Structure 1
Amino acid sequence: MTKKHHKEQEEIQETIKTEAAEENVGDETVAIPAATESDIEAEIAARDAEIQKLRDEVMRRAAEFENFRKQKEREAAQSGKRMLENTVRDLLPLLDDLKRLMEHIPAELQEMAEAKPFVEGVELIRKNFKSLLESKGVKEIEALGKVLDVNFHEAITQIDVPDTEPDTIVQEYQTGYTLGDRVIRHAKVIVAK
């Protein structure tokens, strides 16, 4: 017999002995102490308490997650508003420049046939730009003839104007704008003394 065959025989005999020993253990009676009814009820109560504790924990975690989700949604919305506000604030000087350009075009240039398309084109660009900003919620702050309101206006100087109430805005130096309910630029104005 080869060593390999001899080894296999030993393994088979060992397996048979192990199975026989397991069968003998199965035949023996193992004494398990009988649980009393009160022990079982106590165990059930303890498990019910544990289940309730776990349910409460799951509910608390779900509520925390919902609060976290809502907070992140608010932060994202606020971030979007801040980005829009900053972008609009950066674009306002361009609108001011277009307005000043239109105000300072000489009358004779406006009447020249060669310059008329240019003047009309600049005015169209200004109107479209203003319309775009309005579509995003940007509005001009009314100033002329109004009483100075520091929430919307910034007085840069005062002048004597006969027959005008004090703190009445008589000239607008720079247009102010709001975005929704927020002032993104105060109107710079000149008021009567």
Structure 2
Amino acid sequence: MNKTARRETMLNGAISLLASKGLEGMTHRAVDEISSLPQGSTSYYFSKKTDLLIAAADHLAKLLEKDCDELQVGFADKVAQNGMDAAVAYVADELASYADSSRHLFLARMELTLAAARRDDLSGVGDKLTAAARRPIAFFLKLISDGKDDVPIETCAGLIDGIALMYATGQGPKPSTEQVSAIFRSVL
């Protein structure tokens, strides 16, 4: 395994641990174990836990951005083939199913965002992750609102995050396409 692949494996392992065990459960040794790497591998790449957390946050932001890019392509295809209403339904369905398929990314984002709110050494991590996660919502709201400047993106993103958080933590039902579509319609 080359250095780039090894580093990515470690960062994916760190994200998985953040989602399943939280900040305290994500240690260098645990990352080595979950990544099936020799003990000490993660410490070699990231000497301090803070360095590992920042790198994991950067990697997570890139994963969220990649997902956003894929949604944008799908949205454009739906608009071209079936019109705006079908495209909005597509986005709502994708965001609702994302609650299951990427639950670990959501939980890791929440864990890192909370840690950043409490720790000076993680300054900026929460803002970076929030921006990456809200990018698709902002993109779609601007498209479906005909470019209006006063679209309440933060309100919409907050509602979707809240519904997803309740589901991810076992406190609420899985977000539905109808819920997400209703949020889009209500804020426009």
Q: TM-score, normalised by structure 1?
A: 0.27
Q: TM-score, normalised by structure 2?
A: 0.28
Which structure is larger by alpha-carbon Rg, 1 or 2? 1
